[in-house]
A and B are shown apart, each in its own frame.
Chain A
Amino acid sequence: MDITLKEIRKTFGRVNANDRVTLAVPGGTIQGLLGENGAGKSTLMKILSGYLRPDGGDILLDGKSALFRHPADAVRAGIGMLHQDPQDFPTLTVLENFMSGRPDRLFPSRSAAMSQLRKLAATFGFAFDPRAYLDTLTVGERQQLEILRLLSLNVRVLILDEPTTGISTAQKAQLFDTLRRLSAEGRTILFVSHKLEEVESLCHGVAVLRAGALAGTLAPPYTTAELVTLMFGRPVAMPQRELVAPGRPVLELRGLTAVDDRLRLAPLDLDIRSGEVVGLAGLTDSGQRLLLRACAGLVRPTAGTVRIGGLDLTGRSYPSFRSRGVVFVPTARLEEGLIGDMDLSEHLQLIRPPRGLFINWTSARTAADERIREFAIRGRPDTRMRDLSGGNQQRALLSLLAPPLALILIEEPTRGLDVESAAAVWTRLRAHCRAGTAILFLSSDMDEILTHSDRIVVCYCGRCSPPLDPAAADREILGRLIGGKGWDREAAG
């Protein structure tokens, strides 16, 4: 199906999310949509898939005007979207999820759906247990299921919004094969990403958005420099790792184990010294999250000890850790990290040790203005957090980390961020290290792990490797460990 977007406009408050975007996508191709965070990619795709209504402009499908009032209308017209955050039902089974969104029938046939699911899964080499509950699946598997579900609804256009976030390298390769195959069958794919190499290797054409407007379109062969210039208007350099002489031990784990509903952490000894950055690598939920939370007092260890700055805090709760200079920065920014309905001035007053009973809002706004300049946040002191883009939310979150800090425990520091925002995040974190703060972070982005860690710990099914030197560990070695290979040798060495 040929898609033409004509002069699409959409504003949120004062933000111009889409500013007269015009784009033509020929049927049967894989069209990349590239842009930094807040460039307007997701908005444009949500408009195409009926999730949002544009303020102006038109959508033509095979030349016919089609503006949807509802995502279900778009699916009926053959357009399906895979959202950045899975829009599925974790408490239902694989089969029930697969059957959701079908044209209504009071008693849908489970057996017919089952055989359709099996057939589709076999076609693409996916393996599902139809009776498994969705919350036991990885993000990558949930994505595969969602693609099959959309295909079963006969979509001819598939939109994928940042589909490679949070899935393994193997799953990514499988996803790309699937997409190439679907396009060869004549389906049109719109692939939204801010990762250059993905777009370069996959797409038949790339459109770049910048600040809501179409910055340009490119056809292969692409040059990275050209893409980066279109995206940012200028080249970006990532801050380099600098060696900070590690100081006193900040975090000491001895025989630490912890349990959550899915995983048991094998006993772990680990020391982290001040000024040091330790990266936790591994497939989603291999123990990194649990380890990080146990180090913050958010999960009670079942055995072993946690010492912070030499003080035994085993079994204490997060406020005790926080009062010793330990902060936990979660992945889910709007769910756990920030208060969506409050602005930056309010957040800054919230974390400030109270001086007196009342708040001086004039000086609070001045303080917020300073942070906004210092952290290059695109927003105002009274912009609600939920109205900021992801990258700016992350900057705001970092601006709330008030030194002196002993230890920053941070999940996915740059998840969903573009190169420029990611560089800003790490520049900030590095500044904390220079002041003596230790950082323990987890990331599903191997480049991030390799670029920023002084030492790397790989987790696999609750086991944690001894710390590896990033100079000695390359992608190959890490990839094998993450995938569960070579553990006996590593564990012995």
Chain B
Amino acid sequence: MIRARSLWLQAGGPVIGAGVAVLAAAGLLLLAGVSPLEAFRQMGLGAFGSANRMADVLVVWGPLALVTAGLLATFAAGLWNIGIEGQIVMGAIGVTGVLRLLQDAPLSPWLVLAIALAAGMAAGAAWAVLAGLLKTIGGVNEIFGGLGLNFIASALILWLIFGPWKRPGIGSMSGTEPFPEALGLPNLAGTRLSLWSLALGLAAVGVMALLLSRSVLGLRLRAVGSNARAAFLLGVPTRRHLLTAFGMCGALAGMAGFVQVTAVYHRLIPSISSGYGFLGLLVALIIRCRASWVVPVAAFFAAITIGGIQLPIALQLDSSLSGVLQGLLVLGVLFSDGFRHRAAARS
């Protein structure tokens, strides 16, 4: 059961941490000779200044929410699924493979998309379960296993784009030949946003929240994550649950890959994951197991990502400032949480 603590206690740490992070970022901006207020204003404008920009924020939010929802499962089971990046990539590869195979077949486009989604989820899940098997059978820590599998996945996607799946003529970093419009999720006019992506993200968060708080499976995952030895002696099959957590997370990562291919890029590109796996890890670190927080925190991170694009245009600053701000936010929140815990333990 998720304990009902007061909202203030839950939010207090993150809010103080975020405050510290913003102050630190302001300090950095001052060092760069830029007014922090102006920079933050520009980021706000960049994220919310027009309908199109808000749509761009939501374009990031969809896959980010999917990835973070998946990470809730692995975090509950006490696993650091660093391999999530590779799982998004493998999902996108699975989706692309099915679309390439069936794009000329006499099938309804929706059926093809459904098969592609299933294939993407299966590919992501398989890549994640592989990390799980490396851990449960070979004793390879999932962090190292995931890192290794990430490298393999990015090598694979490059090989596919420059090799078997290259555009007619010459392979390029711009990716494979775009798919016909019918094989993409419908976008809102003039944007790259698909309502399907939002719906999938919301549904994934809702299902994971329900599973973790109310289901037998969620309870068992949390038991394994909290004390695997005791869970085993109490009769919970630990290995199976570790693999299940990996599988769930990988399937949602694969779904994020599906959204990236069919709703955003309409083809496979080398950076198809857009780093959302690592960004999702940051979001998951902040919210820990509070599933309902995925929606706002992922939105905030998406807004920072999109808002940062404005910085080079308006202030001649590097857009990597968004990454700095996101990193500072995570460190600030974790620090204030840890600090409060230590203080509470000592008093």
Contacts and interface: CB of A to CB of B under 8 A. Distances in A.
Q: Please determine whether chains A and B interact with each other in the same assembly.
A: yes
Contacts of A382: 1, 3
B89 interface: no
Contacts of B222: 342, 346
Given A343-B1, A349-B216, 16 more contacts: A319-B235, A336-B230, A336-B233, A339-B227, A339-B231, A340-B227, A341-B227, A350-B220, A350-B234, A351-B235, A357-B216, A358-B214, A358-B215, A359-B216, A382-B3, A400-B234
A8 to B, nearest CB: 15
Contacts of A452: none
B331 interface: no
B1 A346 contact: yes
Contact of B226 (A341, A345, A358, A364): A341
B346 interface: yes
Contacts of B1: 343, 345-346, 361, 364, 382
Contacts of B226: 339-342
Contact of A359 (B214, B230, B236, B347): B214
Interface of A: 53, 318-319, 322, 328, 330, 335-343, 345-347, 349-351, 354, 356-359, 361, 364, 382, 400
A340 B229 CA distance: 12
A256 to B, nearest CB: 21
A340 B225 CA distance: 12
B196 interface: no
Interface string B215-251: 1110110110011011111111100000000000000
Contact of A330 (B214, B216, B233): B233
Nearest to B216: A354
Contacts of A356: 216
A237 B343 CA distance: 43
Contact of B231 (A350, A358, A400): A350
8 contacts: A342-B223, A342-B226, A349-B216, A354-B216, A357-B215, A358-B216, A359-B214, A400-B234
Contacts of B227: 335, 338-341
Contacts of B217: 357
Nearest to A55: B347
A208 B323 CA distance: 60
Contact of B230 (A318, A338, A349, A357): A338
A110 B346 CA distance: 34
Interface in B120-141: none
Given A335-B229, A335-B230, A340-B227, A322 B346 contact: no
Contacts, number: 68
Interface size class of B (residues with CB under 8 A): 20 to 34
Contacts of A361: 1, 214
**Top 7 A-B pairs, shortest CB-CB distance:** A354-B216, A339-B227, A341-B226, A339-B226, A358-B214, A339-B230, A336-B229
Given A349-B216, A358-B214, A359-B215, A318 B233 contact: yes
B219 A337 contact: no
Given A336-B233, A342-B226, A345-B1, A53 B346 contact: yes
A318 B215 contact: no
A394 to B, nearest CB: 14
Interface in B201-218: 214-217
A180 B346 CA distance: 34
A159 B3 CA distance: 38
B222 to A, nearest CB: 7
Contacts of B237: 319
A332 to B, nearest CB: 9
B215 A322 contact: no
A382 B2 CA distance: 10
A322 B214 CA distance: 26
A342 B228 CA distance: 13
A325 B187 CA distance: 58
B233 A350 contact: no
A338 B223 CA distance: 10
Interface string B173-198: 00000000000000000000000000
A188 to B, nearest CB: 27
A350 B230 CA distance: 11
Nearest to B220: A350
A53 B214 contact: no
A318 B230 CA distance: 13
**Most central of B223, B230, B236 by chain A CB within 10 Å:** B230
Contacts of B233: 318, 328, 330, 336-337
A337 B230 contact: yes
B244 to A, nearest CB: 13
Contacts of A350: 219-220, 223, 231, 234-236
Contacts of A338: 227, 230
Nearest to B210: A358
A337 B233 CA distance: 7
A339 B230 CA distance: 6
Contacts of A330: 233
Interface in B1-22: 1, 3
A124 B288 CA distance: 53
A382 B216 CA distance: 17
Interface in B298-347: 346-347
B77 to A, nearest CB: 13
B230 A53 contact: no
A319 B233 CA distance: 8
Nearest to B227: A339
B242 to A, nearest CB: 15
**Most central of B219, B222, B223, B347 by chain A CB within 10 Å:** B219
Contacts of A354: 216
Contacts of B220: 350
**Most central of A338, A339, A346 by chain B CB within 10 Å:** A339
A418 B219 CA distance: 33
A340 B234 CA distance: 13
A378 to B, nearest CB: 19
A387 to B, nearest CB: 12
A382 B217 CA distance: 19
Contacts of B216: 349, 354, 356-359
Contacts of A336: 229-230, 233
Contacts of A339: 223, 226-227, 230-231, 234
A383 B326 CA distance: 36
A52 to B, nearest CB: 8
Contacts of A351: 234-235
Contacts of A322: 235
Contacts of B219: 346, 349-350, 359
Nearest to A329: B233
A330 B226 CA distance: 17
Contacts of A400: 234
A308 to B, nearest CB: 16
B211 to A, nearest CB: 9
**Most central of A322, A342, A354 by chain B CB within 10 Å:** A342
Contacts of A341: 226-227
A455 B103 CA distance: 76
Nearest to A337: B230
A318 B232 contact: yes
A153 B235 CA distance: 47
B235 to A, nearest CB: 5
Contacts of B236: 350
Contacts of A347: 234
Contacts of B235: 319, 322, 350-351
B342 to A, nearest CB: 13
Interface string B88-103: 0000000000000000
